[in-house]
Chain A
Amino acid sequence: MSDNEAADTRVDDQTDSAEPAFEAAEYADGTVTYPPHTVSPNGAERVGTVDLREYEGRVLTWTTSTATPPGVREPNTLAIVEFEMGDGYDGPAVRALGQIAEREDGSGETFDVDIGDRVEPVYADELREPGAGIREPESQDWDGFRFRPVEE
């Protein structure tokens, strides 16, 4: 679905790794949702999956939360990222909520982001400590994607 060259490069890069896909659901009516649901917003059945790593994402909004629950990093900078699904897509906006990744300079601080910034997903094998909070650890997975800015 994507004609984005940078994204295609990333897909190639990750074929060597065991990194899971950033899986969204595609439905018979052409819509895409993240996370996947049983049916589309219009009730259409699921027909496949889409890897959101192949699409360009931009920050819709962000916050830095300082009052975090047990097992969650503090502070926790979060963003809602909207994916550009291409001209041929006319379904509802495809977005994901995700943590902003830490800088690689060892400072322990997260990247600065602002509304409209272009970001890319970064896989993390544990986003918060399973079992520290109220949710049963076995009831869901705890790995997933953070976002980091892309130089434009």
Chain B
Amino acid sequence: MERVAIIGASMTRFGQRDAWVRELLAEAGAAALDDAGIGGDDLDHLYVSNMASGEFEGQTGVPNALAHDLAAQPAYTARIDQTSSSGGAGVYAAWQSVASGASDLTMLVGGEKMTHRTTAEATDVIASLTHPVEYKQGVTLPSFAGLTARLYLDEYDAPRESLGKVAVKNHKNGVDNPHAQFQKEVDLDTVLESPIVADPLRLYDFCPITDGSAALVFCPESVAAEYVPEDEYAVVSGIGGATDTHVVHERADPTTMGGVVDSSDIAYEMAGIGPDDVDVAELHDMFTILEFLQSEDLGFFEKGEGWKAVEEGVTDRDGELPINTSGGLKSKGHPLGASGVAQVYEIFEQVTGNAGPRQVEADTGLACNVGGFGNCVTTTILEGTQ
């Protein structure tokens, strides 16, 4: 199996954008091609990570649209939908295409256009991933977060404030990310006094609704240095994907995300490392509670101890294990199909030393992208070459 390198990366400004999905994808795609020093016609494969362009916008067939806009035909194209983890699943597909030898040059572009819809409509598009017995009760993804947060706080005696501190930390990190939807700090009181969305969680425990796109270019590691200088590429040293139950209440322990455990086990084994070897991580903080669950299920902290790490500053940018240096989904925004790609973009910037004011000391970084409420997960590990 070929070792796979990432030789180019980009992301658009996340937020409320005038551009529609085709234009967002083309903006990120063109920038990533430029970053790798190649043209669209050099690509063998072109993947688009996107959850719901048909439902949001009435535009389907987006990979073909993008291929035409970037003059990438006759490249093989496919749309990768795995709901909120479409981006991570796209990274997996792109990695697989190169690792298998089927493609010598693959680009992945993730994107979503959402903000033209009302919050209720966007929430419903996302909630449509649920089982009929869940959907008919009016459940939303934020409701699952509220249900799980209450159980977590009760089981592990964690203070409500600890969840708020995730939001405070990630907003602080987002200030230095020019692509983030919110480049603005929030204080703990603001988080704890914001309107209730899904009790005990409040507005600032949730990521916003966002438009945006991000892109990555993959090739065999053996030829990466032909495209970019040696310290400007990163290697996908480990990657794993896994699913958990479709019906959320059927999980043995609702505070454990089985897909995170299983996908990271695969990724760690492939990379030949363990959780202690990770220097920086991007986790799927669609809701503050998810950062606790993932940081535990990835093996960074014991079960029920993730909240203490946040309280103690371990996951701050200058802490022992910085988590969500990009600002996370919380401040950066969450354009569904783009998020998993943008997570890997941040890790790529970190391990190649290009993260600017957000830079931490990192040779090895991990991104964990979660779809549904942990229903599908991809964990990706990158290593720098510096």
Give the B-binding residues of A (Cβ under 8 A). 33-35, 60-73, 76, 78-80, 92-93, 95-99, 115, 127-128, 133-135, 139-144
Contact = CB atoms under 8 A, between A and B. Distances in A.
Contact of B143 (A63, A95, A96, A128): A63
B125 interface: yes
Contacts of B254: 60-61, 80
B120 A68 contact: yes
A109 B150 CA distance: 21
Nearest to A77: B199
Contacts of B143: 63, 65, 76, 78
B138 A127 contact: yes
Given A65-B197, A67-B123, A95 B135 contact: no
Interface in B111-155: 119-121, 123-125, 127-128, 131-140, 142-143, 146-151, 154
A114 to B, nearest CB: 10
B247 interface: yes
B71 interface: no
A103 to B, nearest CB: 18
Given A92-B252, A98-B137, 17 more contacts: A33-B250, A34-B250, A64-B146, A64-B196, A64-B198, A64-B199, A68-B123, A68-B140, A69-B120, A79-B147, A80-B147, A96-B249, A127-B136, A127-B138, A133-B135, A135-B128, A144-B133
A47 B135 CA distance: 26
A115 to B, nearest CB: 6
Nearest to B148: A61
A134 B124 contact: yes
8 contacts: A33-B250, A66-B198, A69-B123, A69-B124, A69-B138, A80-B147, A115-B150, A141-B136
A95 B135 CA distance: 16
B277 interface: no
A53 B55 CA distance: 37
Contacts of B134: 97
B248 interface: yes
A115 B325 CA distance: 35
Contact of B137 (A34, A92, A127, A141): A127
Contacts of B139: 65, 78, 97
Contacts of A35: 131-133, 247
Contacts of A33: 250
Interface string B95-120: 00000000000000000000000011
A147 B248 CA distance: 18
Nearest to A96: B249
A63 B147 CA distance: 5
User: Which 5 pairs from chain A and chain B are nearest by CB?
Assistant: A63-B146, A72-B138, A69-B124, A140-B132, A61-B151
A33 B247 CA distance: 10
Contacts of A97: 133-134, 137, 139, 147, 248-249
Contacts of A142: 136
Contact of B119 (A67, A79, A98): A67
Contacts of B137: 76, 78, 97-99, 127-128, 144
Contacts of B133: 34-35, 96-97, 144
B150 A66 contact: no
